[in-house]
Structure 1
Amino acid sequence: MFAKAFRVKSNTVIKGSDRRKLRADISTAFPSLSAEDLNELVPNKEELNTVKIYAHKGAATTLYVLHKNPIFFQLEKQLFPTVYTLWRYPAMLPTFTTWPPVLQKLAGGADLMLPGVVVLASGVPEVYQGDCCAVNLVMNRAPVAVGTAATSSAEMRNSGMKGKGVNVLHTYMDQLWAFGDKTNPPVIPFINSSAQVETEECEEGVKAEGQVSDGQDNPEPNAVETSCQGMQELRLADQDSEALKDKEPVEDGEGEDIDEDDNDSRSPQEQTDALLLQCFLHALKAKVKKSELPLLTSTFLRNHMASCCPKGKQIDIRKSSYKKLSKFLQCMQRDHSLIQVKELKKGVESIVEVDWRNPELCSFSIPEDCGQEKDSVEEGGACEVPFQPPEITPLYGVTAHLEPLFQDAKKRKGATLKASEVRNIITDYVKENELVHETNKNYVNINPTLCDCLLEKSEYQEVENLKWDDLISRTLSKMQACHEVLFPGQPPVVKKGQVEPIDITVATRGSNKKVTIVKNLEAFGLDPAVVADTLQHRVQASCFLQDSPGVKNRVLLQIQGNQIQHVGKLLLVHIIEQTIGLNTECVFVKYNIGENIR
């Protein structure tokens, strides 16, 4: 269901009454969860968001997001936990076990077939048709897929473990997983060791091609194909990313695998403090410019420090010893003498000065594992293909009034030409008809055809010749404006009229609240859903899409607050200018604030 990118409609903070209702619904749907578990999943004070999305097939789905990770999704009034939740509570659902190679097929949208199910010593999980269930891999209890049972357990056994077993809805490595922090599954050993031993010694999996609903013949269940030595190659254990993503493990100088989190003896609070200091120094050294000062502290955190955070980690000041950004910056000012913070406006603090010569800042070296700021539209995991803007060429269409002028060039009404082609045709026409002025070669004599096509009625008796530039400009102005759009890998498309720029408007809604509206993204090959997801993560504001009034197959993007600078920077600097190397603000983007164009 989430194998392809989905479209975000809205993202709002859940209310207190809805929070209590959600906790009750989770308790009813999953009675194995204790009261403490429910309080951890639906905390009273921490921010919990409701995100409404449309899957690629148009299915409306509601996500519940905690700490930027989706924890549940609701489909047709039924709640399903995500893999992030199941990794914390692996016994939450009845679970079927399969082989690691099958996961790649499941992530691609296939369902789990019964011949691919590994039957442990405890037998097949007891489920009824339509029950929510999970799928894990041999040697690791951490679930990697969520779905519904295709048939009951009794029917599975009666069929000899043939046919479909689980209708898969969500998997590890799909777009719903990518909407979160993209962590890998933890290693959770099986509780029943006897079942584990029996699985290792007596049962060997069938090939992945025969375990999913990909249209091929299914082999007999639990067929013995390899020895226990081959089984070792299929184990997930500590090699999830190597088996599924073909990535090499990180090694230290002696060639041994290392895990910084496992070897770090510091407390989580101390680790968060160290991460804050690292991102702070990285931002001052590589991101902040003197021309940007004074710089709002909130902008510094959102646009500079966040982009310096290492991959796979997040800055959460609430988990640090400082608890608030203001206290952390005060410490940097008081104890380290790195910055000066002042309250330029009531309740709004700004960084007014940075000590660039501070020894601590000068000696800081930027870590190699720090991720760069994701400034392209593929941020958020919704798109993995780099954006390539279309090539737009202005064209001019031959009108019925100008058809006699282009008759010799065999260009009839409706033909489209580039400006250079129009100039060449007019030049050839003038030379063939010997219309160049006898004494001044910069002028062209007007014959009846040029008179009818280019002159106004008031000029018939007055104008006898025109300059070359005037002749060409009059011709172009009387032609139909068109343009050609060429997307990479697609045939060119010719459209009438001039290119409509991306329109960014700041409007006022009820209670004098500002919203930013973006239109016409599709004309330049930008997916509004991807842009909405990118902006939502960047500015941490509610963002949704709606149909553009009066325009078919177009949507407009609306985001809370005056975000015109963020939208402009995303579209101009990091998409258009970086890709084609030009400052194309005048061509591609139009800013509106109320009725004033900026």
Structure 2
Amino acid sequence: MLPADTGFSARTPPCLLLPSSYQSSAMFAKAFKVKSNTVMKGSDRRKLRADVGTTFPGLSTENLAELMPSKEELNIVKVYAHKGDSLTLYVHNKNPILFELERKLYPTVYTLWRFPDLLPAFGTWPPVLEKMAGGADLMLPGVVLPSTGLPGVEQGRLCAVTLVGNRAPVAIGVATVSTREMLASGMKGKGFNILHTYKDQLWASGDKSGPPVIAPLETEASPEEDDEQHSPDLMLDTHESETQMKNLCLTDVAADKNRESEDIAVEEGIETTKDSENISPQEAMDVLLNQCFFQALKYKVKKSDLPLLTSSFLRNYLFSCCPEGEQVDIKKSSYKKLSKFLQVMQQRKILQVKELTKGVESIVEVDWKHPDIRSFAAPVSEPTASSENIDVGTEDFYQPPEIISLYGISAKMMPLFQESGQKKGNLLSQNDVRSMIISYVKKNELVHPENKNFVTVNPVICDCLLDKSEQHDITLLKWDDLVTRCLERMQHSHQVTFPGSSPVIRKGNIEPIDINVAQRASNKKVTMIKNLELYGLDPQSFASLLQQKVQASATCTPLPGAKDRVQVQIQGNQLPHIGRLLLDHFKIPRKYVNGLDLSTKSSKKK
């Protein structure tokens, strides 16, 4: 039995009771205070995994291993919510995967995006999400009634909330009444006490990735159906009503003014057009994208900014030109990808794009005398000189690329994967490799009959995974050793997916961001950072931001031995500042940053 202060004893499934300290849905609506952050011990990890499996029986052993990998770091973070609640967060790869309140475990949206069917789900409308993230509970008029009916739940059951058209959960909450009572009330009153949502502060403590698009299992009600009965405006808690009335009044005034102007136009014989109503959403996004693009080139980008990574241009320049209340989503435009849009602009000779490495492109030239740029007029007043400094440190649009390790099947390893229908050269994820190895072992009945932790070595495993010196001595392998040996002997590759771009697969493991401190003349030190481009970070912008933070001279110089690559060089030993910038601000995973341990070693020597 573990000590009581570890938080693992006597846990209660969250479907049974609402926390006694729970007062409102705004638990994570405001920032929380971190009390401690420690790495989880192996014994505690195993106990947590068992508790999660008991609490959520829908998770298989493989699911639990994927959620909490044995050989990857898992952190326990003790926090205080803004209203004083004491909680425990379980964090993997910087993302909170679970939180614990009064010995009850709850999944976060990051976990539910990987296992979307873990909890019974109720749908609602997209406008509802912002209100829930701000602290509103979900009212029953805001719940969408699917054609197949609502999930059957009892009062106090933990449930997920999804948006119409997407099965990826965006919130979790506790049902205040049973499904039978919901229907009996005519879908009126409060339906769920919301605990945690996408876009709240708990979500913001992770990598801030968005929900995936997961197709619904059933046909949901269309926005036109039951519009009056299930209006998003009706789902808010009573404390929102005053704000709703004010917004409603403003909307009515605006509508009256529009009707009045139309009446005047008709009286004067002017034909009114309603082109905006006839424009498709895709055409509207094309218009917005072009507007922000030309506005960024004319008013934001300077000649000294070039060359400029296309990802940095999108994040730090184009997005900042978007009108308030609107958002550029290239996937919803006719171009679908930023690279295709820039290719069209290059064909129009507005700019020139050059590929630095596979999947990483940079704008190297802009024709500011081009008629399309010169004739562009911003819809709102903008500075007439392109001297505005862009502080990448204040932008929230950066998201680190998604990096996935892939393993290629070589001719020697082919016999292990042949039964799974794989071919030589196929690329597999680590989970795929593990699943296929387990399938091979079970199909060939190689699990040791007396100890299921071991696998019997047959001739195929012997040839594929054992060295010549081991082939006469080893007859059994542990499961972990079996999978590890397999991964080590496969051909390593990696897949990088930048936001708004297609995945790019490269051979070998990705080079980490490398930080090095060198001694210069007169006993001066200088810190050098390279490989920022591989992670979508613009070295010039990074150098400018770093220079502002530490008040030291920073420059970008060509990287020796690497074509079209540069390294950032800054005076002094700036390892702590660089570490905070990369890990905390830009959310680069720690395993992709080399050299930060130098500061720890140097301090120990002192």
Do both share a fold (TM > 0.5)?
no
TM-score (norm: length of structure 2) = 0.43
TM-score normalised by length of structure 1: 0.43
Q: Which has the larger radius of gyration?
A: 1
- Structure scoring higher RCO (CA < 8 A, sep ≥ 6) equals 1
